[in-house]
Amino acid sequence: MTFRISEDGGAATVFLTGDIDLETSPLARQTLLKAVDKGLPVVVDMGGVSYMDSSGIASLVEAFQRAKTAGHEFSLVRVGGAVQKVLALARLDKVFRIL
C-alpha cells in the first residue's frame, strides 16, 4: 500500500495503491486531507486500488466534504470494477465526480 501526492497542472493528484481497509485507511485519510488542504482541485487516482472497505469510503467522504466546503473540486479517476461496485452500493457513485 502506498499513497502519494503530486501537484501538476493546477491540481493535487493523490495516487492510491493497494487495499484501503481498517489498517491502511488512517494513512489514506491523512494523505487525502493533506491534498485538500493545498487549496487546489483534488484528483484521486484509484487505478491501483484493488479493495476498499467502509473505512476507505469514510476517508474519501471526509476529504470530499472538506474540499466542497473549501470550494474545491474533488474527482476520482481510474476507479476499478471492485471499487466502483462498493461506491455504487453506497450510492456514492452519484455523489463523487468519477471521470
Q: What does the pLDDT average to over 78-90?
A: 93
Query: Residue 66's Cα: distance from chain center in Å?
Result: 12
Question: What's the pLDDT score for residue 1?
Answer: 74
Choosing among 3.40.640.10, 3.30.750.24, 3.40.50.720, 1.10.3720.10, the CATH entry for 2-98 is 3.30.750.24
Residue 8 pLDDT > 90, yes or no? no
pLDDT of residue 29: 96
At 42 the three-state DSSP class reads: strand
What stretches of 1-99 adopt beta strand conformation (E)?
A: 2-8, 11-20, 42-52, 74-77, 97-98
Mean local confidence (pLDDT), 75-79? 97
What is residue 20's three-state secondary structure? strand
Side by side, the strands of the sheet bearing 74-77 are 2-8, 11-20, 42-52, 74-77, 97-98
